[in-house]
């Protein structure tokens, strides 16, 4: 983006050339034409033009400096962004004395304090009336100490810090050539061919003003663009026709809910009394005819103990069919936590041969059996003996059928056998353990 | 009115109840038969009667919602979902009530059955499936699957198949296996049981006609031979060209104008759960192949698809052929894939012609024939839209509408062709389906970056402008001055018409993508903790992805002696997980590199530095991304005035005092090339790939030279900078940035003649006349 708009360029250029008007008039006009926000762009452009001693005429230069000063006259000189350029110009030995003095007046340095008076003159008059014998010029350091930028400019980063001005002399123009010398400025006849080397200062300056952009020329960094993420062939979507997933009509609507009603009724009965063989037969056939019926037969984990007590056969049947159910754990828990009895052990024993039971469950069941025997001690010796015998037979069966690994329970079972060594079956179990050892 | 029989019995009004029951039962039957014959108005009338008799029976309301939906030509899926959700909530509340008033003697399960909402839930999931919300569909079905044992076989099958399809769509191999394992157990296909099974699992269905798959089977077998012949003659003689294929498709059309399937036949299937007629055995076998394809276990898939062909022989083999084609496609045997695709015959049916065109488009893309691919994709889209218009009554027209998937493919294609704006439009459309996929967001960000490079972004200063140096020649004769401008302003013609692609958008997309990636990585590691599979089986694959060849195919799996078993499937799964892990790792690197780049472009060096640092901290990264990480970090550090650290990043690649090694090798780029397994038959012309896709190792080396020179130059070490910039310009003679740095150095050491000479040598410098005419004075 160029710094200045076309109209601005024209205005600035006109102002710079007003060498015959009093400087203060020129400054007033500048103030009226530019808002504060445009000061910086204008001054930046001017500073670039000022860097080359040849481009601008001496009167133009004075006006340019005056503008640069005027724009930032409300703040301390050290806050003027262009102060270092002005200081450098004021101390430039090669520069004209009147220019250096003019700058010192702007700075109001020591005895140079009649800027106001000078502004009443036109730039041309100032040069004319300047006393060339003036010789009191300060050192660069002095001015810098006085007005210089204390803090380095807060430029954004190091590339910008080291940016270089972008304006180059065309090397085809000989170095020593003084464009101000009248040698080339022979008036071209209308229709004639202009002489090589002739040119128009105005054109060049307004061209520069019009093309200037912010920022200088800095070393450039190569920033490679990240490569595109590879397209794997699976990223392109190969489409297979789906199965037709259609909306389903619910055909259970108003349907006969009597599915398995007889079985349910029989099972309700079976929670309380032992069913007759024919009744048991009915249940078994119904369950095997409809594999999903078992989920609808009304036996919940809570009801399971009752069923086990009265109809262990049926309980085994149902549990076997439920083995894939996600709720089977609840049924097992119910089985483990119910009171130990011949029937519960029978159910577990049969289950072990029919399906694969979780090890954890069997272990818990056995532990439960053993502790039941121990607890029975306080109540009834006879009952206890009976229970111990049952447990022993149950355990022997498990061991013989390789349902449990004795090692897992060895200590527990051994202690149990020793505890109840008076019972014949316990002694038998102990011997069995010893043979396995 | 309470319809629970036990309650009724207690009331002693058995007779009335029985009569009501039989009446409603008859009405229900009528409703069903109307529904099946497509008379939805009559069906709804009856349902209204039923609703009067049985106030708020959820099942009646459910069927009403379904019938209404069909009556309105399946147009209002949103309302259907609302209705079904209401019904579901209602059933659940009703199911709770009797349970709360539990008395131990009563039979709770009866009422449970009555208010069972399984079918409703299934239908909700089906609807989401058709709306392409596969993850949602899965999450809805999950609870049903957890308790699938008690469900009727037909419903259970429907649930499982729907889950399988959804899991495939989500690339969720774990979920797939979970469901497949269940089906396998129940229906016993078994992985690798290769004895020929003659009997098909026809479930309790009296309907034999095959409306199920792609073609009616008789037509398929008839057409098969002629197709094969045609394909052989048409394609074997090097006739792979696109025109031939098109001509062939045209010929097919002319021979048999694609008629619509009799509506009668179709509608029958709506009510009758046509899935029952599907040969479960074949179906499972096909799913198995799809799983193996998903997990990229090409070798095993090859074997299993053969088995599927054997099963399908007497029946419908089009799906098996299609999978075989996909297999060859995955394998990189594109000719074979085209042949099989033609033979599958899916182009003949209106319903599937879009799929055919899409799949053929994929193949042509892989062949690097982007023009043909783009024609095919747009044909596919046209097929889809005509399907939408022509068959409003069919529900599955919804599910057959694959246009969003095809649109995604279009996006990939446009991006590859260097058309970022079109590509972004496609991706944005496809985001309806893919918004949870990190890759989609990366692709959109890539569109933004590509648009930036091509100068298509709003707001002017683009890097394409930077590709030229402009030297304004101002003034004439002795006043002539040169003004260098490497960052010129180019007016964009009608910039308002561009969509909102921008760098800030790229930034948002990248962080979206990163977020989604992290979420999925977190889930993965979580599931790894839970599953016993966490132990990596593949030690051989630990090498980073950069080892080229078949890094992305799962072919290293050894075939087990004898039949396959669960182990092989698990191996396949874990190998796939490994592949996914590597891909995600690569994706993460790409995301961080893009983030750093975008932040640099947005002049935000702090964020760029942190992205670049995270990239460099990733273990086992690709050498390319490591290089990018270093170079982005170095630039960001320069912008933050930390030249020392910047230099350290660059000098990591220094070889001796003044030379750089290649930061990466050409092989590191292989994943950017067409992905092909090592034993593919043909090589496609990779050269068609966009040049912007890749970064040559030599260019990267040149960038190192140039950047180190720039770094020295900014520090005032011009003597040190000079040899480096000289190297840089030897490697990259026309690079704009390097030229500018060289000019800068020349000017700084006071050799402006050299600088201008350099400018004149560089082909990418244009000397333009000053823009202003004299206007002043």
Most confident of A77-86, B82-91, B305-314, B610-619: B610-619
Please name the residue of chain A whose CA is at the shortest distance from the CA of residue B124.
A247
What percentage of chain B exceeds 90 in pLDDT? 19
- Helical spans, DSSP H, in A81-236: 83-90, 97-107, 115-120, 123-129, 140-147, 158-161, 201-211
**CATH topology identical between B275-431 and B436-456+501-523+570-649:** yes
- On whether the CB atoms of residues B441 and A229 are closer than 8 A, the answer is no
pLDDT at B373: 93
Q: Do B756 and A170 touch (CB under 8 A)?
A: yes
Going from N- to C-terminal start, the domains of chain B cover: 15-95+111-187, 275-431, 436-456+501-523+570-649, 653-668+694-767
Residue B8 pLDDT more than 50?
Answer: no
Q: How far is B528 from chain A (nearest CA, A)?
A: 23
Quote the tokens at residue B371: 């023009």
| CATH class assigned to B653-668+694-767 | mainly alpha
The model's confidence at residue B609, banded by pLDDT at 50, 70 and 90, is very high
Q: What is A343-354 written as a DSSP string?
A: HHHHHHHHHHHH
CA distance B71 to B270: 13
More confident residue, B194 or B514: B514
The model's confidence at residue B217, banded by pLDDT at 50, 70 and 90, is very low
More confident residue, B694 or A310: A310
Which residues in chain A have their CB less than 8 angstroms from residue B639's CB?
A: 156-159
pLDDT at B599: 93
B427: how many CB neighbours lie within 10 A of its CB?
Answer: 27
> ∠ CA B289-B294-B295 to the nearest 5 degrees?
100
Quote the tokens at residue B186: 């129940």
pLDDT at B372: 92
The model's confidence at residue B676, banded by pLDDT at 50, 70 and 90, is very low
Q: In the CATH scheme, what architecture does the domain B436-456+501-523+570-649 have? A: Alpha Horseshoe (1.25)
- Among A233, A248, A258, whose Cβ lies nearest the Cβ of B329? A233
Query: Tens digits of per-residue pLDDT, A273-301?
Result: 888 888 888 888 888 887 778 887 878 88
Classify residue A256 by burial, with Cβ atoms within 10 Å: 0-12, 13-18, 19+: exposed
Which residues in chain A have their CB less than 8 angstroms from residue B70's CB?
A: 247
CA distance B746 to A217: 12
Please name the residue of chain B whose CA is at the shortest distance from the CA of residue A183.
B478
- On whether the CB atoms of residues B739 and B469 are closer than 8 A, the answer is yes
Residue B679 pLDDT more than 50?
Answer: no
pLDDT at B14: 53
ipTM over 0.90: no
pLDDT at A422: 85
Which residues in chain A have their CB less than 8 angstroms from residue B108's CB?
A: 298, 300
Helix (H) and strand (E) counts in chain B: 33, 5
pLDDT at A16: 83
A108-112, B253-257, B575-579, range with the lowest pLDDT: B253-257
Residue B314 pLDDT more than 70?
Answer: no
Q: Do A252 and B116 touch (CB under 8 A)?
A: yes
Chosen for mutation from B405, B450, B477, B697 (greatest number of chain A CBs closer than 10 Å) is: B477
More confident residue, B390 or A343: A343
What percentage of chain B exceeds 70 in pLDDT? 66
The average pLDDT across A366-385 equals: 79
The model's confidence at residue B495, banded by pLDDT at 50, 70 and 90, is very low
CA distance A258 to B592: 64
Task: Count CB pairs under 8 A between chains A and B.
Answer: 406
Residue B414 pLDDT more than 90?
Answer: yes
The model's confidence at residue B773, banded by pLDDT at 50, 70 and 90, is very low
Query: Tens digits of per-residue pLDDT, A256-265?
Result: 666 677 788 8
B212: how many CB neighbours lie within 10 A of its CB?
Answer: 22
Please name the residue of chain A whose CA is at the shortest distance from the CA of residue B152.
A292
Query: Tens digits of per-residue pLDDT, A50-65?
Result: 877 777 788 888 888 8
Residue entry with tokens 């191999």: B173
Quote the tokens at residue A316: 């085994």
pLDDT at A47: 80
Residue A140 pLDDT more than 70?
Answer: yes
Query: Tens digits of per-residue pLDDT, A193-218?
Result: 444 555 566 667 766 666 665 556 77
Q: How far is A218 from chain B (nearest CA, A)?
A: 7
More confident residue, B254 or A347: A347
Q: How far is CA A353 from CA A275, A304, A357, A389, in A?
A: 24, 20, 9, 21
**Rounded to 10 degrees, what is the CA torsion of B580, B582, B585, B586?**
-100
State which H helix or E strand residue A381 sits in.
helix A381-400
User: What average pLDDT does chain A have?
Assistant: 77
Q: Where are the beta strands (DSSP E) in B108-166?
A: none
Query: Tens digits of per-residue pLDDT, B116-135?
Result: 888 999 999 998 888 888 88
Which residues in chain B have their CB less than 8 angstroms from residue A203's CB?
A: 475-476, 479, 773-774
Q: Do B777 and A240 touch (CB under 8 A)?
A: no
pLDDT at A72: 83
A246 alpha carbon, distance to own chain's centre: 40
- Among A226, A237, A326, whose Cβ lies nearest the Cβ of B597? A226
The average pLDDT across B646-662 equals: 83
The average pLDDT across B220-231 equals: 39
Which residues in chain B have their CB less than 8 angstroms from residue A226's CB?
A: 449, 590, 593-594, 597, 628
pLDDT at B112: 54
Q: How far is A133 from chain B (nearest CA, A)?
A: 33
Chosen for mutation from A168, A218, A305 (greatest number of chain B CBs closer than 10 Å) is: A168
pLDDT at A317: 86
Query: Tens digits of per-residue pLDDT, A303-323?
Result: 888 888 888 888 888 888 888
- On whether the CB atoms of residues A106 and A98 are closer than 8 A, the answer is no
- Among A217, A246, A258, whose Cβ lies nearest the Cβ of B395? A246
Q: Which residues pair with B769 in a beta bridge?
A: B473
Q: In the CATH scheme, what architecture does the domain B275-431 have? A: Alpha Horseshoe (1.25)
User: What average pLDDT does chain B have?
Assistant: 72
What pTM value is reported for the model? 0.71
Q: Which residues pair with B482 in a beta bridge?
A: A168, B473
Which CATH number applies to B15-95+111-187? Answer: 1.25.40.10
What percentage of chain A exceeds 70 in pLDDT? 80
pLDDT at B471: 67
B7-11, B171-175, B547-551, range with the lowest pLDDT: B547-551
Query: Tens digits of per-residue pLDDT, B460-482?
Result: 444 444 445 666 676 666 666 66
> ∠ CA B568-B569-B571 to the nearest 5 degrees?
60
The model's confidence at residue B17, banded by pLDDT at 50, 70 and 90, is low
């Amino acid at each position: 983006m160029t710094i200045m708009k076309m109209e601005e360029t024209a205005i600035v250029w006109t102002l710079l050339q007003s060498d015959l008007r009093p400087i203060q008039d020129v400054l007033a006009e500048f103030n009226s034409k530019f808002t504060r926000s445009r000061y910086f762009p204008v001054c930046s452009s001017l500073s670039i033009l000022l860097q080359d001693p040849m481009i601008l005429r001496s009167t133009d230069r004075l006006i340019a400096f005056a503008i640069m000063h005027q724009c930032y006259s409300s703040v301390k000189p050290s806050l003027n962004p262009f102060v270092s350029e002005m200081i450098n110009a004021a101390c430039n030995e090669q520069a004209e004395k009147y220019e250096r003095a003019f700058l010192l007046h702007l700075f109001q340095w020591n005895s140079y304090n009649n800027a106001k008076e000078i502004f009443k003159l036109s730039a041309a008059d100032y040069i004319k009336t300047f006393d060339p014998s003036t010789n009191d010029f300060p050192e660069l350091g002095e001015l810098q100490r006085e007005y210089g930028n204390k803090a380095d400019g807060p430029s954004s980063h190091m590339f910008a810090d080291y940016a270089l001005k972008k304006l180059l002399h065309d090397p085809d123009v000989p170095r020593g050539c003084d464009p101000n010398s009248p040698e080339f400025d022979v008036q071209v006849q209308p229709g004639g061919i202009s002489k090589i080397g002739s040119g128009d200062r105005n054109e060049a300056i307004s061209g520069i003003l019009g093309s200037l952009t912010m920022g200088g020329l800095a070393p450039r960094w190569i920033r490679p663009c990240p490569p595109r993420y590879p397209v794997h062939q699976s990223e392109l979507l190969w489409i297979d026709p789906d199965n037709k997933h259609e909306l389903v009509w619910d055909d259970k609507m108003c349907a006969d809910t009597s599915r398995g009603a007889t079985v349910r009724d029989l099972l309700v009965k079976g929670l309380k009394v032992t069913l007759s063989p024919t009744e048991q037969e009915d249940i078994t056939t119904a369950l095997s005819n409809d594999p999903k019926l078992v989920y609808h037969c009304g036996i919940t984990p809570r009801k399971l103990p009752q069923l086990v007590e009265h109809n262990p056969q049926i309980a085994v049947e149902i549990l076997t069919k439920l083995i894939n159910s996600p709720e089977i754990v609840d049924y097992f828990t119910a089985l483990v936590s119910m009171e130990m009895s011949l029937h519960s052990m029978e159910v577990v024993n049969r289950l072990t041969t029919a399906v694969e039971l979780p090890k954890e469950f069997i272990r818990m069941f056995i532990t439960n059996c053993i502790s039941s025997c121990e607890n029975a001690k306080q109540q009834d010796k006879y009952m206890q003996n009976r229970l111990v015998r049952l447990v022993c037979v149950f355990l022997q069966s498990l061991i013989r059928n390789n349902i449990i690994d004795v090692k897992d329970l060895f200590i527990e079972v051994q202690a149990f056998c020793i505890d109840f060594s008076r019972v014949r079956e316990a002694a038998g179990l102990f011997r069995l353990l010893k043979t396995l050892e | 009115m309470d319809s629970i029989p036990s309650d009724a019995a207690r009331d002693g009004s058995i007779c009335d109840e029985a009569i009501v029951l039989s009446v409603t039962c008859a009405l229900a039957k009528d409703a069903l038969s109307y529904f099946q014959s497509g008379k939805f108005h009559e069906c709804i009338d009856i349902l209204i009667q039923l609703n009067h008799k049985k106030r708020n029976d959820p099942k009646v309301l459910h069927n009403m919602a379904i019938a209404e939906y069909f009556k309105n030509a399946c147009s209002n899926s949103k309302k259907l979902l609302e209705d079904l959700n209401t019904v579901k909530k209602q059933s659940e509340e009703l199911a709770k009530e009797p349970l709360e008033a539990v008395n131990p003697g009563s039979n709770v399960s009866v009422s449970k059955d009555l208010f069972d909402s399984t079918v409703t839930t299934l239908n909700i999931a089906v609807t989401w499936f058709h709306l392409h919300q596969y993850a949602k569909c899965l999450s809805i079905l999950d609870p049903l699957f957890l308790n699938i044992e008690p469900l009727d076989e037909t419903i259970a099958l429907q649930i499982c198949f729907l889950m399988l399809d959804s899991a495939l769509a989500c690339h969720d191999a774990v979920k797939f296996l979970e469901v497949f394992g269940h089906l396998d157990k129940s229906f016993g296909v078994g992985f690798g049981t290769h004895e020929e099974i003659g009997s098909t699992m026809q479930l309790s269905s009296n309907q034999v006609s095959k409306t199920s798959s792609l073609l009616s089977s008789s037509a398929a077998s008839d057409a098969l031979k002629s197709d094969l012949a045609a394909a052989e003659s048409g394609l074997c003689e090097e006739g792979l060209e696109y025109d031939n294929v098109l001509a062939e498709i045209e010929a097919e059309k002319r021979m048999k104008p694609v008629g619509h399937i009799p509506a009668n036949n179709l509608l029958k299937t709506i009510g009758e759960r046509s899935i029952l007629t599907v040969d479960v055995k074949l179906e499972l076998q096909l799913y198995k192949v799809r799983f193996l394809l998903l997990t990229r276990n090409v070798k095993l898939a090859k074997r299993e698809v053969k088995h599927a062909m054997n099963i399908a022989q007497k029946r419908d083999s089009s799906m098996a052929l299609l999978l075989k084609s996909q297999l060859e496609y995955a394998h990189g045997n594109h000719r074979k894939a085209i042949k099989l695709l033609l033979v599958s015959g899916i182009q003949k049916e209106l319903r599937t012609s879009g799929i055919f065109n899409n799949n053929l488009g994929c193949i042509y893309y892989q062949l690097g024939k982007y023009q043909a691919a783009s024609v095919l994709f747009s044909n596919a889209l046209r097929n889809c839209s005509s399907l939408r218009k022509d068959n409003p009554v069919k529900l599955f027209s919804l599910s057959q509408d694959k246009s969003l998937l095809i649109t995604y493919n279009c996006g990939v294609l446009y991006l590859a062709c260097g058309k970022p704006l079109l590509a972004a439009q496609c991706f944005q459309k496809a985001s309806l389906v893919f918004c949870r996929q990190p890759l989609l967001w990366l692709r959109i960000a890539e569109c933004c970056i590509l648009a930036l490079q091509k100068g298509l972004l709003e707001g002017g200063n683009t890097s394409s402008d930077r590709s030229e140096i402009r030297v304004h020649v101002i003034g004439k004769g002795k006043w002539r001055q040169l003004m260098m401008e490497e960052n010129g302003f180019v007016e964009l013609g009608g910039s308002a018409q561009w969509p909102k692609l921008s760098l800030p958008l790229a930034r948002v997309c990248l962080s979206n993508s990163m977020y989604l990636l992290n979420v999925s990585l977190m889930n993965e590691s979580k599931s790894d903790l839970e599953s016993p599979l966490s132990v990596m089986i593949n030690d051989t694959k630990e090498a980073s992805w950069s080892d080229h060849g078949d890094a992305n195919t799962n072919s290293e799996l050894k075939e087990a002696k004898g039949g396959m078993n669960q182990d092989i499937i698990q191996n396949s799964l874990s190998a796939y997980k490994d592949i996914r892990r590597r891909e995600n790792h690569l994706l993460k690197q790409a995301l961080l590199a893009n983030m750093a780049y975008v932040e640099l472009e947005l002049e935000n060096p702090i964020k760029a530095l942190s992205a670049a640092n995270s990239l460099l901290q990733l273990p086992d990264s690709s050498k390319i991304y490591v290089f990018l990480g270093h170079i982005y970090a170095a630039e960001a550090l320069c912008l933050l005035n930390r030249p020392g650290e910047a230099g350290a990043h660059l000098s990591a690649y220094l070889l001796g005092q003044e030379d750089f090694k290649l930061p990466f090798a050409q092989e590191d780029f292989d994943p950017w090339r067409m992905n092909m397994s090592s034993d593919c038959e043909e090589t496609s012309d990779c050269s068609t790939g966009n040049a912007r896709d890749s970064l040559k190792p030599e260019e990267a080396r040149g960038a190192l030279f140039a950047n180190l020179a720039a770094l020295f130059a900014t520090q005032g070490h011009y003597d040190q900078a000079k040899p480096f910039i000289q190297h840089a310009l030897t490697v990259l003679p026309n690079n704009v940035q390097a030229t500018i740095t060289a000019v800068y150095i020349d000017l700084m050491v006071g050799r402006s003649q050299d600088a201008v000479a350099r400018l004149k040598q560089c082909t990418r410098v244009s000397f333009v006349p000053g823009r202003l005419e004299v206007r002043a004075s």
